[in-house]
Chain A
Amino acid sequence: MQRLIKITILIIFFFILGVFFISLNKDTAYNTKTLVGKKITKINLEYFNEKKFYQNEDLKKNNFTLINFWASWCAPCRDEHPLLVELSKEKNLKLLGVNYKDKKKQAKIFLNDLGNPYHFLAKDEFGKQSVNYGIYGIPESILINNELIVVKKFIGPLSFEDLKSIIKIIN
């Protein structure tokens, strides 16, 4: 009997130790990188200038598409913009800019000042569409292939390293 109790206590002790060991070695910083490898099922983004919508078929034509959520009021978006301009020169990649919760006039001024790197320009006036892409703050970018599968997700402004990794993936 005493032995059974001792064994049970030992098992519980090692179990707790194991749980702590695994949990403390885990990266607890939240991210939505779990979306990588998943297919975007329904693309329905409104054109920036027209009452038309970008659908799945529009993006399937491209080898790779980088969906970039941005706004004129977002300071880090300004920082990453030159990198997007650089990426727009890549042959295998098309850029879809989604103007997020922004004023049309301000967005136009932003693009006039810094250049328009986007091959496709859409808007998400109330941010509802952003949920479909797991966006929880901007800027965020999602690299998808022609099967609409998420290849990589970039949370926050793109860095020079991100630029290099995108070029490596698409080539």
Chain B
Amino acid sequence: MKFKFILIIFILNFTFLHGVEKIVNQNTIHKNLRCLVCQGQSIADSNSDFAQTIKLVVKDLIEDGKTEDEIYSFMADKYGEWIVFKPQVNKHNFMLWFLPYLALILGGIIIMLVIKKKKNL
């Protein structure tokens, strides 16, 4: 009895979580895709004809079982990297991703060296 109860709770919980995850994914994807015919709006913010079409296609792709990353790749393949607000790391933009860290490390080293030098004086 206790086992059955736990199993039902588990199934209900899984179904609920799965459903929530689907909604979250769809909204997240809309927010991460740029409306190409709008001024700085995402697909989620726009009611343009283009945004409506993309929303329909995203819905279909989710129903086909595509993951979030696969959907971004599909859109980037059709419309270029510009459609994705957060582009994937590639050979053209890797500097954009790693330069801040490099600057942080370099800055840290310089500060450390300055402090060290001041201490030695």
Contact = CB atoms under 8 A, between A and B. Distances in A.
A48 to B, nearest CB: 19
Nearest to B54: A131
A128 interface: yes
Contacts of A126: 53, 56
Contacts of A1: 113-114, 117
A136 B79 contact: yes
Given A136-B36, A136-B37, A127 B110 contact: no
B53 A130 contact: yes
Contacts of B78: 32, 35, 131-134
Contacts of B52: 127
B45 interface: no
Contacts of B10: none
Nearest to A138: B49
B113 A131 contact: no
Interface of A: 1, 4-5, 8, 30, 32, 34-35, 101, 126-128, 130-134, 136-137
